[in-house]
Amino acid sequence: MADRKWSDLAPRVASGVVLVLTGLLVIWAGGLWFKLFIALTCGGMVWELSRICAPERDTVALQMGGVAGLALALSLFLPGAFALPLLLAPSMVGLSLVPRRRTLFLVFCAMILISGYGMARLRADQGALWLGWLVAVVVVTDVAGYFAGRMIGGPKFWPRVSPKKTWSGTVAGWVAAGLVGLGFGLWIGEGLALAGVSVALSMASQMGDMAESALKRRAGVKDSSNLIPGHGGLMDRFDGMLGASLMLLLTGPWTGLFFIAG
């Protein structure tokens, strides 16, 4: 039983190391490389979303992934005033092409693209350091939740939607994120305030995770795809980042400026 509990650890660690190194590399590179990485990743997530909503429409999934990736790329290279209609356009296109679960597709497609846009603009406008903080908050939330949930166990957080998630793992994620925020805040001179913000983003990350779990449960699938060994698909790995990025975009001090500047 104990071996089964940790059976996915090796592939998760291996894939996680590759993802982290790739992420750090493109965050450091910034510019064109990071924009293309975000466009390709979000296009891949919309491809997965289309397959979840309409698994029998492989051609439609490929089309929607391409449309979404192109729309996000254009939004990052055109003036900011054009961003929002471009980011919402794939959701509208999907209403015609995706035959089932249209509301779910509309909401999640918009969330994916707006969150991806927020991450790209955070890197461009605030620098690699702040994006690194956001990524660190999401990663430690996930890692602390994984280990605490398996080592401590206890009551389930929302067993109907995600049977493996526990309250111990959820709270451990908050604590870990708060410590990251505290350390980062003290390092850059922001003091204790960033600890509270980091906990809020940790919660938003977990909300993104649970929202994707609810989507998969509704569609009757285990993983969004099998692209990443030990993690499933892109949505399975980046759902928390989507939630945290969307929260930061909607509540940050630069709210609204992303869509009218640049």
In angstroms, the CA 214 to CA 218 distance is 6
CA distance 90 to 117: 14
Q: By the 8 A CB rule, do 165 and 175 touch? A: no
Asked if residue 30 lies in contact with residue 124, where contact means CB atoms within 8 angstroms, the answer is yes
**Residue 171 and residue 232 in contact, taking contact as beta carbons nearer than 8 Å:** no
List the chain domain ranges. 2-259
pLDDT at 134: 93
Tokens, residue 231: 């993690």
The count of C-alpha atoms lying within 13 angstroms of the C-alpha of 95, restricted to the half-sphere facing its C-beta, is: 8
Query: Are the beta carbons of 53 and 104 closer than 8 angstroms?
Result: yes
pLDDT score recorded for residue 1: 47
Which two tokens mark 41?
């990743």
228: left (phi over 0), alpha (psi -120 to 50) or beta: beta
pLDDT of the chain along its 262 residues, tens only? 445 555 556 666 776 677 778 888 999 998 999 999 999 999 999 999 998 988 877 888 899 999 999 999 999 998 878 899 999 999 999 988 887 788 889 999 999 999 999 999 889 888 999 999 999 999 999 989 888 888 887 888 888 877 778 888 899 999 999 999 999 999 988 778 889 999 999 999 999 999 988 888 888 887 787 777 666 788 888 889 999 998 888 876 655 555 555 5
| Measured distance between the N- and C-terminal CA atoms of the chain, rounded to whole angstroms | 54
Claim: this prediction has a pTM higher than 0.85: yes
Q: What is each CA distance from 210 to 100, 205, 243, in whole angstroms?
A: 21, 9, 10
Q: Residue 250: which residues within 8 A CB-CB, separation 6 or more? A: none
Q: How far apart are CA 177 and CA 181, in angstroms?
A: 6
Phi, psi of 158 (to 5 degrees): -150, 75
Pairing of strands 156-158, 162-166: antiparallel
Tell me the C-alpha to C-alpha distance, in Å, between residue 249 and each of 109, 194, 234, 256.
16, 16, 21, 8
